[in-house]
Structure 1
Amino acid sequence: MPRYIVERELEDAGNLSGDELQAISQKSCSVLEKLGPQIQWVQSFVTKDKLYCIYISPNEQLIKKHADLGELPLNAINEVMTIIDPVTAE
């Protein structure tokens, strides 16, 4: 199944408290439960003003639906075409 990197602009994201990050995570998970097992949130990376989230999903439309239902910002969706790492260099 395809993987996607989702970019979410969230002002001052890097300064969110643990409680705030937990609330965002809980909201996302509650929407994912309603959407069913075909979409999975793998993890997110928090930077100064953005979240970069990794999802496994059959299509972009389901990711958009997740953002809409969860009232989450959605600035870009990019399908991962391949993954490289240090082993690739060998």
Structure 2
Amino acid sequence: MPKFLIERDIPGAGHFTREQLVAISESSCRTLRGIDLEVQWLTSFVTDDKIFCIYIAPDEEVIRRHAFEGGFPANNITLIHNVVDPNYADA
């Protein structure tokens, strides 16, 4: 199944409290369960004004639906073609 990088513009995200991040996580998971059990949220990276999420999903449309129903943005959705890490340097 395809893997996607989702860029969410959320001003002040880097200053969210642990409780706020937990609430966002719970909302996201609850929304996903109601949409498609095949979709997997792998991880997210919180920066000053954005949250970057990695999802496995059948297509971009289900990610857009998740964002709409969950009430959070999906400003850019990018298909991930490959992943590299430092282990490639040892090959």
TM-score with structure 1 length normalisation?
Answer: 0.96
Q: Which residue number corresponds to residue 22 of structure 1?
A: 22
How many angstroms apart in 2 are the aligned matches of 1:73 and 1:37? 21
The CA deviation string for residues 40-81 of structure 1, in whole angstroms up to 9 with x for no partner, is 111100001100000000100000000010011111000100
Tell me how far 1:36 sits from its aligned partner.
Answer: 2.5
- Deviating runs (4+, > 6 A) in structure 1? none
Partner SS for 1:25: helix
Q: Which residue number corresponds to residue 73 of structure 1?
A: 73
Matches within 5 A, 1:20-59: 20-59=20-59
Q: Which runs of 5+ in 2 are unaligned?
A: none
Equivalent pairs: percent with the same residue?
41
Q: Which runs of 5+ in 1 are unaligned?
A: none
The CA deviation string for residues 17-52 of structure 1, in whole angstroms up to 9 with x for no partner, is 011001111110110110121211111000011000
CA RMSD in angstroms, aligned pairs only: 0.8
How many angstroms apart in 1 are the aligned matches of 2:87 and 2:18? 34
Q: Number of residues paired by the alignment?
A: 90
Partner SS for 2:52: strand
How many angstroms apart in 2 are the aligned matches of 1:87 and 1:25? 30
Q: Is residue 2:10 matched to residue 1:13?
A: no
